[in-house]
């Protein structure tokens, strides 16, 4: 049994040693700006992949949410997603991204253009993709 525990600990050290800490837990006090940026970029890519998982054929099956944060406050933007996906997991990932984006901005004391992205009024489907309508 001692050998099994030793092997499991050894494997855990190898796995954790090969993975950057920013990929495991997000932005930390000792992560670099580049690691933090790459973490956010990877998380946003995952969000966009989930959001675009289904073709837009019926706009009533699509919703949108805010994501990210501006240094001056307010959302960085809006993203459309299909209600066919696991919406709770998707929205949790968006919440995590927004939280980590705020930490990134505060940690690195970043500014912003302070523009406010327009809030969509509705979604239509165009060429299989969701499109925001603002009027």
Tell me if 127 is assigned to some domain.
yes
Tell me how many domains the chain contains: 1
Domain assignment of residue 75, yes or no? yes
Pairing of strands 122-126, 62-67: unpaired
Where does the pLDDT of residue 58 fall: very low under 50, low under 70, confident under 90, or very high at 90 and above? very high
Q: What share of the chain is helix, strand, coil (3-state, %, to 5)?
A: 45, 15, 35
Q: Which residues pair with 129 in a beta bridge?
A: 126
Residue 7: inside a domain: no
Residue ranges making up the domain that contains 74: 21-133
Number of other CB atoms surrounding residue 38 within 10 Å: 15
In a domain, 64, yes or no: yes
Strands (E), the chain: 62-67, 77-82, 122-126, 129-133
CA distance 10 to 18: 13
> What is the tens place of the pLDDT at every residue in 23-48?
447 999 999 999 999 999 999 999 99
């Amino acid at each position: 049994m001692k050998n099994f525990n030793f092997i499991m600990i050894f494997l855990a050290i190898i796995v954790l040693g090969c993975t950057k800490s920013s990929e495991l837990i997000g932005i930390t006090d000792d992560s670099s700006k580049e690691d933090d940026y790459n973490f956010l970029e990877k998380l946003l890519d995952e969000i966009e992949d989930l959001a675009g998982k289904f073709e837009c054929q019926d706009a009533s099956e699509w919703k949108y949410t805010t994501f990210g944060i501006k240094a001056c406050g307010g959302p960085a933007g809006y993203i459309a997603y299909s209600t066919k996906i696991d919406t709770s997991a998707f929205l949790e990932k968006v919440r995590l991204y927004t939280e980590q984006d705020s930490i990134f901005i505060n940690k690195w004391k970043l500014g912003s253009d302070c523009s406010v992205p327009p809030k969509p009024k509705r979604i239509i489907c165009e060429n299989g993709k969701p499109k925001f309508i603002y009027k």
